[in-house]
Amino acid sequence: MSLRHTYTLIAPLYDAAISRATQAARKRSLATLPATPGQVLLAGVGTGLDLPHLPKEHHYVGLDLTLAMLSRSLPRSSNIAFAPVQGDAQRLPFADAAFDSAVLHLILAVVPEPARCLTEIARVVRPGGRVLVFDKFLRRGQTALLRRLANPLMRRVATRLDVVFEDLLPAAPELEVEHDQPALAGGWFRMIRLRRL
């Protein structure tokens, strides 16, 4: 089953499964967006769970692979400048350096090629811009046997459980880690802030 098909099917259930558990971490991550108004890409905007927590001074482009997810984001966008775009986070339909910042909440562990996604983000964010990441990652050398055993099934259904963030960084050498902290589940979920060199 393709990622597009899977997320079309789970769109009605997504909020119930994710919203409450991730709300506080989303707020903390989004609070680090720069104060200067700019263009912000929300890559994998999903049902728009980030939208109520976004500062109003920016203009936002919310990209998602499925219309089912994008349509659910629209009611949450009424208080901000928001443009929904259907597209693939691994092949962004935007010009180089088109955005001042990008938000990658729960997307890198979902896409089949997370390194390619990060490379594309580095391409579309201007030098000096910020990239906010919130997702689940294994640490290098971490055994995590149950996660690894569950991964073949889970990656077909909704998400990967075996992504090591540090293994993605070489694909985007223009991105430098500014901040990295545990967010949920004993540090499995992390909030990472990157700067585009």
Q: How confident is the model at residue 6 (pLDDT cuts 50, 70, 90)?
A: low
Q: How confident is the model at residue 151 (pLDDT cuts 50, 70, 90)?
A: very low
pTM of the model: 0.87
Full domain range(s) for residue 158: 3-196
CATH of residue 142? 3.40.50.150
Looking only at the bridges linking them, the beta strands covering 39-43 and 189-196 are unpaired
Number of domains forming the structure of the chain? 1
CB 51 within 8 A of CB 84: no
Q: What pLDDT does residue 138 have? A: 83
Q: What pLDDT does residue 146 have? A: 58
CA distance 35 to 55: 8
CA distance 102 to 45: 11
